[in-house]
Amino acid sequence: DVQLQASGGGLVQAGGSLRLSCAASGFTFDDYAIAWFRQAPGKEREGVSCISNMDGITYYADSVKGRFTISSDNAKNTVYLQMNSLKPEDTAVYYCAADPRHYYCTDYGPLRPGSWGQGTQVTVSS
């Protein structure tokens, strides 16, 4: 079974940084794409970033470009989301997701994934 464990959320002041981790197990990590989604209260879940372990393709939502960086450590089966210059509007529950489709990380954002992990809360105070 695909298992995804997200961690690293917390409370931070505006302008601060956090690093989220998504530890994966139960599947061949190199054959999957991993994405981060977020959902703020009263809003739809949105794709924030995505990385394909198959070809290295990455995606960032316009709202996080230049501030967030996604990376993959294949030796640890873990994907990271480094979040810098955080804003109050980044406050949300962040979820990681996995999918084996080679076209999963599209130019318009990650598709609805095959597997979800649990969320981690990120709260940015002003």
* The length of the chain, given as a count of residues: 126
Q: What are residue 88's phi and psi, to 5 degrees?
A: -55, -30
In one-letter notation, the amino acid at residue 2 is V
- Both tokens of 6, joined, read 């997200």
Rounded-to-integer distance, Cα 106 and Cα 123, Å: 28
pLDDT (0 to 100) of residue 102: 86
Average pLDDT value over all residues in the chain: 95
Reply yes or no on whether the pLDDT at 48 is more than 90.
yes
Only one residue has tokens 């009263």, namely: 42
pLDDT (0 to 100) of residue 108: 87
Distances (CA, A) of 69 to 43, 61, 65: 23, 11, 8
% the chain with pLDDT above 90? 90
Mean pLDDT of 59-72: 98
Q: What are residue 44's phi and psi, to 5 degrees?
A: -75, 155
Mean pLDDT of 46-61: 95
